Amino acid sequence: MKTPVKMWIVCLVAVITIVSGFFAWRASASSAWMSTVTQNEKNTLLYAENSLALAVEEANARLNELVENSVIDSPESVRAVVDRAALLFRDGFLYACFFGPDGELVASKGAKVPEDFVLTVFYDTLFYSEGYALSEISYDTGTLHLQTAILLEDGSIVLVGQDVLADFVRRLNAALGREYGFFYGDEERFAPFPFSSRSAVFFEEGFRDEYSRMFTTAVDSQRPSAKLFSLRSGRSLVTSTALYDADHWDVKGFLVQVTPESFWKKGSDRLDWFVWLGSLLSCFVAPFFLIRLHYRERTADRSPRLRNASLFYAIAAFFPIYLFFLYGAFLLAPSLLREYESSSVLANGSLLQQDIEYRFDHIALSSKSIIEQMKRATRDDYRICPVDQTSRFSTVTTLSSRQERLISPLAPADSSGAIEIGTLSIDRIGQTYVRFRSRELDWQVLHEDTFVSNEILSVQFLGVILLLAFLAVALIFGFLTRHLHNRLLIRNTLFGYLFLAPALVHLIWWAAGPLGFSLFLAFRRWSIVDPAKPFVGFDNFIELFQDGNFWNALKNTAVYSLYVPIGMLFSLLLAMAVNKAGKIAVALRVLYYLPVVTAGVATTIVWKWIFNRDFGILNYILGWFGIGKIAWIDSPQFALLSIMIISIWQAIGSQLLIFLAGLQGIPIDFYDAAKVDGAGKYKAFRHITLPLLKPTTLFVLVTSIIGSFQVFTPVYVLTQGGPLRSTDVVFYHIWKAAWTEMRMGYAAAQSWILFLLLMVLTYFEFKLYGKDSWQAYF
Amino acid sequence: MKNTLLKGNWIRVIIAVLLILALSTAAFGKTKLRVTTWAGAEEAALDESIIAEFMRLNPDYEVVYEAVASDNYYQKILTDIGAGTPPDVILLDAEMIPKFFEGDFLTDLAPFLSRLAREGYGGSNVYEYFPVLVDIARIDRKIYSIPKDTSPMGVFFNKKMFDEMKVPYPDEDGWTINQFIETAKALTKDLDGDGKNDTWGFAFPSWVGIAVPLLWAGGGEVFSPDFSHTSGYLNSDINVKTYQTYLDLLKEGYAPTPQQASALGGNSALFYTGKVGMILTGRWFNVSIKGQIAKGLDLQVGIASLPFADINKKDTVSYLSGWSVPSNVQDKRGAVMLAAFLSSDYAQRKRCLEGSLAISANQAVAQLQGENDPLDAAFIKMLDYSRVPVGSQTKFYRPKFEDLWAEAFDKINVGGESLRSVLDWMASEMDKAIAKGES
Amino acid sequence: MNRRNLDRSLSVITQIVIYALLFLLAASTLLPYILMIALSLMAEFEMYQIPPKFIPTILRWSNYIEMWQAQPWGRYIFNTLFATVAVLAGQLLLVAMGGYALARMKFPGRDFMFKLFIAFMMLPGVVTLIPGFIILHSLGWVDTFMALIVPSLGNIWGLFLMRQYMLSLPSSLEDAGRIDGANRWQVFWKLILPLCKPVLATVGTFTFLSMWRSFFWPLIVTRSKEMRVIEVGVAMFSSQYITNIPAQLAAATLSSIPMILVYLFAQKWIVQGIKMTAGYDR
């Protein structure tokens, strides 16, 4: 049997769909990959910047100590200080000078002394420094170097210049494997400062504008900014951070990090291989199974076994895709992203260890502040503990006591050399840690995994969506294949879905994604302000089941929804009463609609008055029947009932309209026939009106009950959930959990419980009605 | 014939659709800085003029002002934050700062402010504000919010009623609980002899925001000093004694029951219509009163402090809001400059002197306010001994503490339970929540 | 004979009782509306009395002037009207087509689709707000008309109602149309849709109502003053501690007038064929 052309077309379309599906996945995966790479590179740059800051701290500390231990009261002592400075700062020593209180240069040592230092902004800044040493990078003497200065009590200044930046760049290069360079100037006028022959690597004049834009972003947001460039040496990711003056206000220059493509190419290549392999495989498997299905359809008989088999074939056709998506989203992408993060954290850690070894002479004196500065620079959390129990240093940490309480044990993954790397979690938020010993202390640096976790989450989310989409695709292609020759069926299906398309597209676009997201959230914890969304399993649901208030609210809501059938009957009778011509009927219809357009405040006042215990009409009327005064809204027993009454009253207007429309659909002939048969009004109502209105009443019942379970504002405005929680409703809990307690995950869990409950209820409502087309009666 | 008609119609439909699409995608200008507040219509107008001035002084910046109705304020900014597009400057309640401070979400403004202050930039000098207000958002040396304005809590009393019933005004420097009790009793009268009181001494303070300062004024505390638990503090004997005094007054009929108050329109309505002589609330009430007097309400108002147990140990709270900057904004400097300007001298004068919306956080402007209005002068004096709101120190205040208090009061009012048992229950619930770490 | 007289007098009594109840109910629905108008003409300190004052002593028309001048209502009304009309047009078409498909067309998966739509009606919107906003933001539609119009184009409730209504139309219609040579679209557009005037008017009214009074979604997706809608403007009259209730009620009163007019118009359309259909009084 020849395969018809149509079948080949179907296969072609299937192949195109598969390929686009894979490419969609790849687009999201590679954007997550590059995002992770960029973020980690920015983080590494922060560690590099921190390294510079530590050097600066050390210079400041040295100068502080020098001045503290010196007595400066004579020209000889001034000379002595300058000499001692030259000795102390011998690494890359450029100059040391002493300026008197009126800014004149008193003594100096070294070449290229900045004589007009007093004209600089740095000089002004020193006067607000409260006597502590400050440092800045400076270009004053034609070379980019580090200036450290301190203001003495009498207004004189000691200034030291060190050419340490070239060494610094070399060290970074060696430790981290990336290229580094400095720029001097601000975001609009800047120039690269060459430290080595490799300096050409990180700047090309042709890119000046783009560099300027990158620098501007870094300066404005005060965070590293990154951009991909195609430099002569190849594609690179350039990350830059602004270096400020001692005041942390003016921009003096930029530290730039160039990460060559080799760092991330392997990951990109893996993704590419995966996508090509997957799509090629799927493109062979899908047509294979579809054609086989087609043959079976043509040759076999119409047994029920065939239907199941064709489903099997349809799913089998796309089976590789499911596997690939699942593998890609849940195994490949996470491991790829986390690997990069780990290697980056390890590199950062090793740089940090070197820095600490290199610089921490004064750790005992200022450990807490230095740790805080490191945390400020890198945003990671630090802990140090003494290795030796008898050490006099106590544990210094930037973690809060609560975090300390909720930290999980270390789970080491690897140790390369002196550094151990692993994972742990604090309050379920995953962290990657590095651990090393330095100067008799045990250092732990914790890096929050949230960014990478969120990227992985987005890849997984898209993966699941694509999976579901391809399940639908499988069904569609299976259907097409099976009924390839049934033109009528295909046409009907096509037109059916075409008519349905606008509504369906809108639904999937606006409702499906958010729905899926809320399902994800129900198993996580998210406080909105904190981007971390750690997985908490069933915790939300367990907490939910133990929350008595929630179940009380659910009970209240369920009781409240009982008003719906009562209200419906009422509205139906009213609809029949006003379903006639004449000005009175029209006037009544409009009047009954007024509650819908009346502002809540007025409604509340009137009903509070009606329900008033002492002056209210209701109690007045009840008094005629000898019933005692009821404190309607203020009593726990009757508050809910009051609200139900008000709700019935408010629903009349809307339900009236629907029932009116429904009543128009009943031909008058039926009533005439009934009259001829001698049936009375009641019989006509029971046997003609009610059955023929079934579609309408089903609609009103289902939608009103759904609406009643989601009631919030009317109740809240009137009673705020009281008295004694008797009018507390479920939606209010969800609202409060989301917006006031800022616990989106918990709110999602509550929403899903409500959702499931409503589904069950609605199912039973449909069952109650049976067949819902009155065609069944004819 | 039919075809051309159809074509004509379709063309019109297509044109209409295109028009709609065109109009629909019109965005309104490029924004550089966004600031959100919960201003109402009048306050929004004042804010807009302040922002116009900022844009005039800093032509590089374009500011979009988003005023959100106060009930939905947090929903809106949380949606923006959750979607990754936070506004550049946010107005925050003191009570919301602990939560927002959590994920490292707010920027430390101190370094920016010190540099701006050196350049004389309006609003950036921290020493211009009342110290207690700066402390609300200060942790160590970091400042997370620039104070905007404040509302201390006090007692508004109806001078006419006091005169008619020949009750002496409360002392300007403060009065004791016993004096309060006597005043309340003297103001409660049954005017038409039907056995039911027609005027009452005071509107009962059931809202948590007034209850806590009352407990403080009585000498008690609500949280432990490290905010780790409430047992022993919230349900201490002093607190029971203090609040029981007010509850007893309520029971004996010197204040309308909450049900009566609600039936008569709420506490404010009771005060306007001269049914209660005193109402315990914040300075913001002054705005409504002035508005009503402007519309013809015949009312003369005086201010007194909250009643103290010990006149030498004065204690009260001052609620405030302040401007904060999220840490992931595009332009930190610009945002901080805007935030500072929104609290600057110019802004304070516009809002507090012209608009009289609240007491300015800026001490100099507040002094001027006090000179203009003796009521404000009384409130400003309270700032001398005000404390930061308890909600600004712990994230368990809003909403846990607030909800529990509302439920506790319900239990006393409707359920008839005793104050001590209810406070014990509340303290244990609070401690459980704090221990669990959830809010 | 006697029985008939008894029947007739009983029926007269029942008629009177029924009319009395109807008018009592009408009075109860009219009262709050009148109170709303009355309160909008009062000052706040005059508002709270028991029993409520339905006729103010002084008619403060200045409330209306103040309200109008406090905010750019012209702009708000334009925004709301534009969004409402756009949504009405789009939604009615969408819902009619979808309802027709679900009710009158036969294709595999039809009932499943219907159940899918119903299911989506049941999820509370709180948690889906942020993802919805993210979608909007990624399209660049925040603070534009698209944000007000497009998300509201879908209306599952309306779809459901259309389907139920269309189910009750006789199937002979389509057969007749097909015999005459009309294609599916023409059957839908020219035969079925005109018969759906009542339900279209119903859905249209509800859509108009919900768009005219929509508050929360416009609040979240618009930022600037120029994009506000009426209800958001009304809410702006409450600041953190004081609510200018008379101004709010003035705005609410004015806002209610178009809604009543639309209802009047719609219900006339619905009950148009009154002579052809059932009534209570026979």
pLDDT tens readout for residues A63-82: 988 888 888 788 888 888 89
Q: Which tokens is C65 given?
A: 């002037």
- Inter-residue long-range contacts of A301-310, CB under 8 Å, 24+ positions, other chains counted: A310/A478, A310/A481, A310/A482
Query: Measured in whole angstroms, how far is the alpha carbon of residue B136 from the centre of its chain?
Result: 14
Axis-axis angle for helices A639-664, A694-709 (nearest 10): 150
Residues 6+ apart with CB under 8 A from B118: A128
Q: Which fold has domain A56-164?
A: Beta-Lactamase (3.30.450)
Q: What is the dihedral of CA B283, B288, B294, B299, to 10 degrees?
A: -70
Which phi and psi (to 5°) does residue B167 adopt?
-105, 135
Closest-CA residue to B74 (of A73, A249, A529, C78): A529
Domain A166-266 shares a fold with domain A539-777: no
Tell me which chain C residue has its CA closest to the CA of residue A652: C29
Cβ–Cβ of A615/B329 closer than 8 Å? no
Of the candidates C86, C130, C146, the beta carbon closest to that of B82 is on: C130
Domain edges within chain A: 56-164, 166-266, 539-777
Q: Can you name the residues that pair with B302 across neighbouring β-strands?
A: B157
Of the candidates C167, C205, C276, the beta carbon closest to that of A668 is on: C276
A43 pLDDT higher than 70? yes
Residue labelled with tokens 């339905």: C54
CATH 3.40.190.10 domain residues, chain B: 33-151+319-391, 152-317+392-436
Quickly count: other Cβ atoms within 10 Å of residue A548's Cβ.
9
pLDDT, tens digit, for every residue of C25-80?
A: 999 999 999 999 999 998 888 887 767 788 888 888 999 998 999 899 999 999 99
Mean pLDDT of A687-705: 86
Secondary structure (3-state) at B62: coil
Q: What is the dihedral of CA A193, A195, A201, A207, to 10 degrees?
A: 0
Candidate from A474-478, A552-556, C80-84 with smallest mean pLDDT? A474-478
Best residue in A720, A742, A744 to probe B by mutation, most B CBs within 10 Å?
Answer: A742
What is the reported pLDDT for A117?
86
Mean pLDDT of A279-302: 83
pLDDT classification of B32: cutoffs 50, 70, 90: confident
**How far off is chain C from B261, nearest CA to CA, in Å?**
11
**How far off is chain B from C55, nearest CA to CA, in Å?**
17
Class of domain B33-151+319-391: alpha beta
Q: How far apart are CA B390 and CA B227, in angstroms?
A: 9
A651 pLDDT higher than 60? yes
| DSSP letter (8 states) at residue A111 | S
Q: Which fold has domain A539-777?
A: MetI-like fold (1.10.3720)
Q: Which tokens is B338 given?
A: 């805007």
Pick one of 2.60.40.1220, 1.20.120.1200, 3.20.20.140, 3.30.450.20 as the CATH number of A166-266: 3.30.450.20
CA distances from C143 to A246, B31, C225 (A): 41, 11, 10
What is the reported pLDDT for B1?
42
Chains that touch B (3 or more CB pairs under 8 A): A, C
Mean pLDDT of C224-250: 87
Strand B200-203 and strand B276-282: pairing? parallel
Tell me which chain A residue has its CA closest to the CA of residue C257: A597
A322 pLDDT higher than 90? yes
- Please answer whether residues A341 and A432 qualify as being in contact, where contact means their C-beta atoms are separated by less than 8 angstroms: yes
Class of domain B152-317+392-436: alpha beta
A394 versus A13: which is more confidently predicted?
Answer: A13
Of the candidates A599, A664, A731, the beta carbon closest to that of C36 is on: A599
A336 pLDDT higher than 70? yes
Closest-CA residue to C248 (of B377, A598, A377, A26): A598
Tell me which chain B residue has its CA closest to the CA of residue A375: B104
Sheet holding A429-438, edge to edge: A396-397, A381-386, A441-448, A429-438, A419-426, A411-416
Q: How far apart are CA A161 and CA A159, in angstroms?
A: 7
What is the reported pLDDT for A584?
87
pLDDT, tens digit, for every residue of A378-391?
A: 889 888 887 776 65
* Contact with chain A for residue C135, Cβ under 8 A: yes
pLDDT, tens digit, for every residue of B268-321?
A: 888 988 889 999 998 989 888 888 888 888 889 999 999 999 888 888 888 889
pTM of the model: 0.88
A773 pLDDT higher than 50? no
Surface-to-core class of residue A760, CB atoms within 10 Å of its CB (0-12 exposed, 13-18 middle, 19+ buried): exposed
Chain A segment 431-490 residues within 8 A of C by beta carbon are: 479, 489
Q: Which tokens is B263 given?
A: 């039936």
Closest-CA residue to C200 (of C101, C97, C105, C102): C97
Of the candidates C220, C240, C247, the beta carbon closest to that of B70 is on: C240
A206 pLDDT higher than 80? yes
Q: How far apart are CA B187 and CA B167, in angstroms?
A: 8
